[in-house]
A and B are shown apart, each in its own frame.
Chain A
Amino acid sequence: MLVTGGSRGIGAACARALADDGWAVALTYRTSPGGAQETVREIEAAGGRATAIGLDVNDARAIPGALEEATAALGGTVLGLVNNAGVRADDLAVSIEDDAWETVLDTNLTAAFRLTRQALRGMVRARFGRIVNVASVVGPRANAGQANYAAAKAGLIGFTRTAATEVARRGVTINAVAPGFIRTDMTADVLQNGALEAIPARRAGEPEEVAACVRFLASDQAGYVTGTTLFVDGGLSA
């Protein structure tokens, strides 16, 4: 199981939950090797198997090598992938610079496509695979100031649906989770701005609550669930 952006927040929680479910986990990091190593230590202390791999998901040429490294470290074909790595660069659509548009689309959408494309090679041959894309409630739902992020996450959901139909008969499932406001470093500024009042549950979600959904979608029990998006948003999108 490869989890991108696994050094902190939702990615780290996913790595822990999946390891707890018996997956050997390779988690990638870009800027936080310390966080990644800490997550690995936590997993190993709990009796699981994990390794940390440095990867800039925007470096297309590095992706095959990262999969190979994960395959070697995990002792077999990578049969699970969580595309979690993501960035924000918020602004009004009228003001978004090209760089901010491209960075957000590249990291949140294009990288997920490239990793999926690479991972599917082994999964299709193995007749088994689990891919979970971490999308967002933003995309299916509007959020002023995040047009680039919304475009990327809506695109990720569309990609999930179509790619899922292409490989379903090979025992490979592709699903998405769509978190709402989750308490992470990435949302600390948003949660301080009164966002909680708009959430029916009146609270932010925890990374572990997203990870629990990812864990289910990656499990054997979810073998007949594919192409769907599971919202984890306290009712925000209801």
Chain B
Amino acid sequence: MSTTVTPERVEQVVYGALESFGADPSEFSRTVTFEELDVDSLDLAELSQIAEEEFGVPLKGADVKGIRTVGDAIDLIVIRAQ
């Protein structure tokens, strides 16, 4: 799975997940924080699950606690997938 992981693909999946959580797509960017998007800890747990299913990247609670922005999440998934 990791051979097909590109930042663009990860961004697409992350944005799709955020939209499913009810976040406003017009606010999406790499610099926006999850707090600004009103994305909470349960949403991040679900995002971790989606990343694992889509890219085979297991993200534990401690990993997720360190991320603040959407870009942080995308970068973490891309790095873990390489």
Same complex origin of A and B: yes
In the complex, are the beta carbons of B42 and A125 less than 8 A apart?
A: no
Nearest Cβ on chain B to A120's Cβ, whole angstroms: 9
Q: Which residues B54-78 have CB closer than 8 A to chain A?
A: none
Minimal Cβ-Cβ distance residue in A for B45: A124
Q: Which residues of A contact B45 (CB under 8 A)?
A: 124
Chain B facing A: main interface SS: helix
Q: Which residues of A contact B33 (CB under 8 A)?
A: none
Size band of the interface chain B makes with A = under 10
Task: Please measure, in the bound complex, the distance between the C-alpha atom of A121 and the C-alpha atom of B42, giving whole angstroms.
Answer: 11
Interface string of A146-182 (1 = CB under 8 A from B): 0000000000000000000011011000000000000
Q: Which residues of A contact B42 (CB under 8 A)?
A: 124, 166-167, 169-170
Q: Which residues of B contact A167 (CB under 8 A)?
A: 42
Q: Which residues B37-56 have CB closer than 8 A to chain A?
A: 42, 45-46, 49
Q: Which residues of A contact B46 (CB under 8 A)?
A: 124-125
Interface string of A65-106 (1 = CB under 8 A from B): 000000000000000000000000000000000000000000
Q: Which residues of B contact A121 (CB under 8 A)?
A: 49
Q: Which residues A89-146 have CB closer than 8 A to chain B?
A: 121, 124-125
Nearest Cβ on chain B to A61's Cβ, whole angstroms: 15
Q: Which residues of B contact A169 (CB under 8 A)?
A: 42
Minimal Cβ-Cβ distance residue in A for B41: A166
Interface string of A8-48 (1 = CB under 8 A from B): 00000000000000000000000000000000000000000
Minimal Cβ-Cβ distance residue in A for B48: A121
Task: Please measure, in the bound complex, the distance between the C-alpha atom of A169 and the C-alpha atom of B46, giving whole angstroms.
Answer: 13
Task: Please measure, in the bound complex, the distance between the C-alpha atom of A148 and the C-alpha atom of B67, giving whole angstroms.
Answer: 40
Identify the A interface with B (CB < 8 A).
121, 124-125, 166-167, 169-170
What 7 A-B pairs are tightest by C-beta distance, nearest first?
Answer: A124-B46, A121-B49, A166-B42, A125-B46, A167-B42, A125-B49, A170-B42
A to B CB contacts below 8 Å, 11 in the list: A121-B49, A124-B42, A124-B45, A124-B46, A124-B49, A125-B46, A125-B49, A166-B42, A167-B42, A169-B42, A170-B42
